[in-house]
């Protein structure tokens, strides 16, 4: 069963509320793809809340529960008439990004950190320390694996507390645009379910563009400049 476009308010992007239905459709859909999205950030920045608001909207709770083990969520989406089954990975806070496959196998078995299709780096807009955490993590990711055509989105959560910012929005955007090779920056509020759908829409649009546009050699060169732009929302 499809969630109506009026609920998502972002056609042509649709979520499927029943993964079994998505798999049934996928069996007859040649455009079916599985993608893994890894969501990383410091403790208490709202990673799990962002995922839950996307998978099961309006379930936010103010009670903080620390993530103690990695979990995988399996929503399915259709964008531009292409069906995707997502593996959205939620992790406990990691001390560092695994430098190689052996390190990942030893310390983060099953995390799929080094093979993710895309990354979401989440920080709390009221905490400069949480931004510095993803700054270090971003550097580790880019130095540890081939990031060619791997979307990375930076997310400032808790926009509802923007009056208590640790860093100005302009300062953050300047760092991301000038120093980081990231696909986009977006601020959201998991508490109010604000910009959550937009976040995943932009990620899936970036993935879909690569899968169905950039891989076509006839259009690859004409799109290379657009691909390297950092989307600010």
What pLDDT is stored for residue 45 in this prediction? 97
pLDDT score recorded for residue 105: 92
Q: Number of structural domains, the chain?
A: 1
Nearest to 116 by CA among 201, 14, 38, 48: 38
- Alpha-carbon distance 223 to 221, whole Å? 5
pLDDT at 151: 95
What is the Cα–Cα distance from 149 to 206, expressed in whole angstroms? 9
The pLDDT of residue 110 = 86
**Residue 81 neighbours by CB distance under 10 Å:** 11
pTM value?
0.83
From the list 203, 183, 184, 194, the residue with the least C-alpha distance to 84 is 203
Print the domain residue range for 162.
Answer: 5-232
Q: What are phi and psi of 63, to 5 degrees?
A: -80, 120
Longest dimension (CA), the chain: 51
Low-confidence spans in the chain with pLDDT less than 50: 1-13, 17-20, 22, 24, 26-29, 217-227
CATH number, domain at 18?
3.40.50.300
Cβ-based neighbour number of residue 168 at 10 Å: 10
Tell me the C-alpha to C-alpha distance, in Å, between residue 172 and each of 78, 125, 135, 156, 184.
Answer: 31, 10, 11, 9, 12
**Cα–Cα nearest to 74, from 65, 84, 66:** 84
User: Rounded to an integer, what distance in angstroms lies between the CA atom of residue 129 and that of residue 206?
Assistant: 28
Strand ranges in 50-206 using DSSP code E only, listed in sequence order: 71-73, 76-79, 82-90, 118-124, 152-157, 184-187
Burial of residue 31, with CB atoms counted within 10 A of its CB: 0-12 exposed, 13-18 middle, 19 or more buried: middle
């Amino acid at each position: 069963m499809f969630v109506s476009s009026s609920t998502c308010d972002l056609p042509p992007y649709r979520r499927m509320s029943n993964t079994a239905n998505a798999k049934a459709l996928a069996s007859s859909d040649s455009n079916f793809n599985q993608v893994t999205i890894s969501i990383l950030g410091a403790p208490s920045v709202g990673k799990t809340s962002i995922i839950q608001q996307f998978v099961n909207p309006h379930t936010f709770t103010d009670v903080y529960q620390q993530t103690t083990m990695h979990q995988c969520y399996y929503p399915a989406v259709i964008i531009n008439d292409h069906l995707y089954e997502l593996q959205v990975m939620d992790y406990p806070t990691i001390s560092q990004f695994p430098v190689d496959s052996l390190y990942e196998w030893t310390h983060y078995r099953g995390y799929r950190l080094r093979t993710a299709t895309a990354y979401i780096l989440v920080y709390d807009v009221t905490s400069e320390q949480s931004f510095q955490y993803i700054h270090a993590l971003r550097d580790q990711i880019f130095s540890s694996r081939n990031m060619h055509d791997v979307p990375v989105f930076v997310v400032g959560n808790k926009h509802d507390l923007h009056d208590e910012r640790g860093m100005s929005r302009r300062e953050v955007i300047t760092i991301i645009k000038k120093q980081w090779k990231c696909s986009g920056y977006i601020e959201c509020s998991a508490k109010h379910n604000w910009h959550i759908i937009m976040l995943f829409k932009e990620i899936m649009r970036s993935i879909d563009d690569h899968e169905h546009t950039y891989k076509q050699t006839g259009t690859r060169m004409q799109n290379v400049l657009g691909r390297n732009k950092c989307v600010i929302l």
